[in-house]
Amino acid sequence: MHPLKHRTMLSTTLKCTFWSNTFPTHNPFNPRKPFSASAVKYPKQEETPAQIVHWSGLNNWRSSPLNRNRFWGANGPQTSPIQPSFSNSGETGDSGSILCSIDWGCCSSLAEMGAVVLSTADPLQKSKLSHLAYSRWCQESLPVGVCEAPSKPARPQNPQLVSPKEIPSPKHSGLPLNAYMLHNLAHVELNAIDLAWDTVVRFSPHCEHLGEGFFADFAHVADDESRHFAWCLQRLEELGFSYGDMPAHNLLWRECDKTSDNVAARLAAIPLVQEARGLDAGPRLVQKMVGFGDLRTSNIVAKIADEELAHVAVGLYWFLSVCQKMGRAPCSTFKVLLKEYNVEIKGPFNYSARDEVGIPRDWYDPSFSRQGHGKDGLSEVYDRLACIISMEQENSKMDASRG
């Protein structure tokens, strides 16, 4: 049963405490600084998002039962062959244990449990605690609560975090291509767990203004990401490797950290840019795994990419909600926020997936003209050809690095 069925929705009135506690609460839409403390001129609402069509699967995703298929079996996702019996202490005695000293009885809210997940360094334990936290939220009707988010999530000793330039190429990583790509994906998914929980915990003081549905959605996202990480970890072990066997970068957290003061910027930078990149990269990664001959890994990647649609759709839904309540134009506001927070959008784009979740092309593609779209009937063909050419170029680079 979805947690919102057990609760009364809180007010979704957007007040100025969204972005700063320094503004008086009687003036929720400060015209000078509507998003953050920076002196940026934001656009008025000159456009309407009427052309935006939300992802058709969003309501089904929200109302879906708790997903316990955290093991990848012969035919796809399934429950673990060994079912741990979780207690409030978070401890079990089998091989799938979450052996830890955390007393879950001290956590009486979603935000408090999220802070525990963020403060957990061990990757596997973090993944399992994330699922346990969302399970309790769904089953025990806990409040969102309020909790202070740690400045940064706890991290294991390995992988070593280095600059992107120091990440070894597949040829020099010591891992075969499929394990190399899977390790990168596992790193993305681990960060995604923390990104979702940080959004829950950091903005928990503003539950009255955001509404409980905001936190329910992002806790659900965190649970999905923890399941994806578990699949990656399992497959890496099947291939004879472990998460931490090669260095990784910290760029994913950097985008989260610099939007910690601004919920609108967080929604723009993380779901609508960072997670949307997963929609772009997913099909290419699947193709690479198929080309490498690893169909099992390709199936895992394809499933993860398919489930990422919900996460981008959730980000779009709440970004539009925030803009509407502040009387701001979504498209121009999105672009201004990315410029202010120095967030870059990179192609090539998976237009079909982005269209499916509802992100208008003129938000992210400077070459797209809404007025001229579809005039010659060749735009869709051109998009597909451009994507195919980009995929072939990437494959050529990977082949060269392997040689």
223 in Cβ contact with 134 (< 8 Å): yes
Q: Which SS3 state, helix, strand or coil, does residue 376 take? A: coil
Q: Which helix (H) or strand (E) holds 71?
A: strand 71-73
Phi, psi for residue 44 in degrees, rounded to 5: -75, 170
CA distance 13 to 261: 19
The DSSP 8-state label assigned to residue 94 in this structure reads S
Enumerate the domain spans of the chain. Answer: 101-366
Question: Which of 315, 375, 389, 318 minimizes the C-alpha distance to 347?
Answer: 389
pLDDT in tens, 222-258: 999 999 999 999 999 999 999 999 999 988 888 889 9
Q: State the DSSP string of 194-238.
A: HHHHHHHHHTGGGHHHH-HHHHHHHHHHHHHHHHHHHHHHHHHHH
CA distance 334 to 85: 44
199 in Cβ contact with 314 (< 8 Å): no
In the chain, what is the straight-line distance between the N-terminal and C-terminal CA atoms, in Å?
52
Q: Which residues of the chain have pLDDT under 50?
A: 1, 3, 5-48, 50, 84-101, 372-386
Does the predicted TM-score (pTM) go above 0.85? Answer: no
The amino acid present at 371, given as its one-letter code, is Q
Q: State the DSSP string of 294-332.
A: -HHHHHHHHHHHHHHHHHHHHHHHHHHHHHHHHTB-HHH
Question: Which of 318, 380, 392, 375 minimizes the C-alpha distance to 351?
Answer: 380
The amino acid present at 165, given as its one-letter code, is K
CA atoms within 13 A on the CB side of 317: 21
314 in Cβ contact with 271 (< 8 Å): yes
322 in Cβ contact with 267 (< 8 Å): yes
Q: What pLDDT score was predicted for residue 5?
A: 42
Q: Which SS3 state, helix, strand or coil, does residue 171 take? A: helix
Q: Which helix (H) or strand (E) holds 76?
A: strand 76-78
Q: What pLDDT score was predicted for residue 7?
A: 43
Residue 101: how many CB atoms within 10 A of its CB? 7
The token pair that represents 191 in the structure block: 């960060």
The token pair that represents 279 in the structure block: 């929609």
Bridge partners, residue 328, by sequence: 44
To the nearest 10 degrees (0 to 180), the angle between helices 177-202 and 110-118 is 140
CA distance 55 to 354: 10
Q: What pLDDT score was predicted for residue 106?
A: 83
User: b/e map of 364-393 (b: 16 or more CB within 10 Å)?
Assistant: bbeebeeeeeeeeeebeeebeeebeeeeee
313 in Cβ contact with 55 (< 8 Å): yes
Furthest-apart CA pair in the chain: how many Å?
A: 65
Q: What pLDDT score was predicted for residue 271?
A: 97
Which positions ≥6 away from 76 have C-beta within 8 Å?
A: 299, 303
Q: What pLDDT score was predicted for residue 52?
A: 78
Question: Which of 357, 380, 361 minimizes the C-alpha distance to 369?
Answer: 361
Q: State the DSSP string of 20-55.
A: -TTS-TT-SS-SS-SSSSS--PPPB--S-GGG----
